Structure 1
Amino acid sequence: MPDHIPTRPTVLFVCVHNAGRSQMAAAFLTHLAGDRVEVRSAGSAPADAVNPAAVQAMAEVGIDMTARTPRVLTTEAVQASDVVITMGCGDTCPVFPGKTYLDWALDDPAGQGIDAVRPIRDAIEQRVHGLLEDLGIRPRS
């Protein structure tokens, strides 16, 4: 991570439908960082609702995603973020100088059952812990 990340960074998670991976990542980061990070998520082609299997998988680890709704990716959201993490949205995310861009290659939970979503959830949790370490933020327990 570059030195220009502020003490309260803004992180934007982006995937195609903003219904699974990006929602789980945002929920984990919010849970682990609290108000020390501003967390956003969006999709290049948002779904109508968050993936029920993702909601169930997160509930299993004590994180409630029932109130989350998919949002459309905007240029303004990218401009307002310090770190942009993409998950399978290809080149649809606008690129601006001075931002940190990461791409997390993760399976898409769309149409998958809970048994397929659990390993995706666990991989996202590990990556969020690594992100917090890179940002110099100690996770809440």
Structure 2
Amino acid sequence: MTENTAPAKPSVLFVCVHNAGRSQMAAGFLTALGAGNVEVRSAGSEPADQINPTAVEAMLELGIDIRTETPKVLTPDAVKASDVVITMGCGDVCPIFPGKRYEDWKLDDPAGQGIEAVRPIRDDIQARILNLLDELGVTPAPLTPAA
């Protein structure tokens, strides 16, 4: 009997207050670019009722569809189950566990912003995700932008 020696895939949790814009875009990018090689989670300390429609529109421009996602509540279990926890303005309400890798990405909040203001936020998130994939040793998959 042979032992499965494949390394476990890394897991990343994105957290922002409402889990409606920044964290959903980051999760969408990591899901698409990670091509199944990274376990992706997102949550919010005070989840909104729905995803920011402008964030959805901005992601669709790059061929990433996050329309079916829903804001989820942040739980200690989600943090415990993740190797990397990336916060985006959730402040002191994010639970911290020893031994986890934490990053805080300072990003403008897309809430209430038009598409022209959301595109640079989206592009900043994409660049950070590509850097994260490199740090995790995962080769990014190509994106196929919408026609």
TM-score in terms of structure 1 length: 0.95
Corresponding residue of 1:53: 54
Query: Deviation string for 1:87-112 (max 9, x for gaps)?
Result: 00011111111100000000000011
What is the letter of the counterpart of residue 73 of structure 1? L
Taking the aligned partners of 2:126 and 2:135, their CA distance within structure 1 comes to: 14
Corresponding residue of 2:113: 112
**Secondary structure class of the residue paired with 1:50:** coil
Query: Deviation string for 1:24-69 (max 9, x for gaps)?
Result: 0000000001211000000000000000000000000110111010
Corresponding residue of 1:29: 30
Q: CA RMSD in A?
A: 0.8
Query: Deviation string for 1:66-98 (max 9, x for gaps)?
Result: 101000000010011000000000111111111
What is the letter of the counterpart of residue 103 of structure 1? D
Taking the aligned partners of 2:114 and 2:76, their CA distance within structure 1 comes to: 33
Taking the aligned partners of 1:84 and 1:34, their CA distance within structure 2 comes to: 19
Instruction: For 1:78-93, list aligned pairs within 5 A.
Output: 78-93=79-94
Q: Does 1:14 align with 2:21?
A: no
Bigger CA radius of gyration: 2
Taking the aligned partners of 2:93 and 2:80, their CA distance within structure 1 comes to: 14
**Secondary structure class of the residue paired with 2:35:** helix
- How many pairs are equivalent? 136
Could you tell me which runs of 5 or more consecutive residues in structure 1 were left unpaired when the two chains were aligned: 1-5
Could you tell me which runs of 5 or more consecutive residues in structure 2 were left unpaired when the two chains were aligned: 1-6, 143-147
Corresponding residue of 1:3: none
Taking the aligned partners of 1:81 and 1:65, their CA distance within structure 2 comes to: 21
Taking the aligned partners of 1:18 and 1:78, their CA distance within structure 2 comes to: 15
**Secondary structure class of the residue paired with 1:98:** coil
Taking the aligned partners of 1:65 and 1:52, their CA distance within structure 2 comes to: 10
1:23 to partner: Cα distance: 0.1
**Secondary structure class of the residue paired with 1:115:** helix
**Secondary structure class of the residue paired with 1:36:** coil
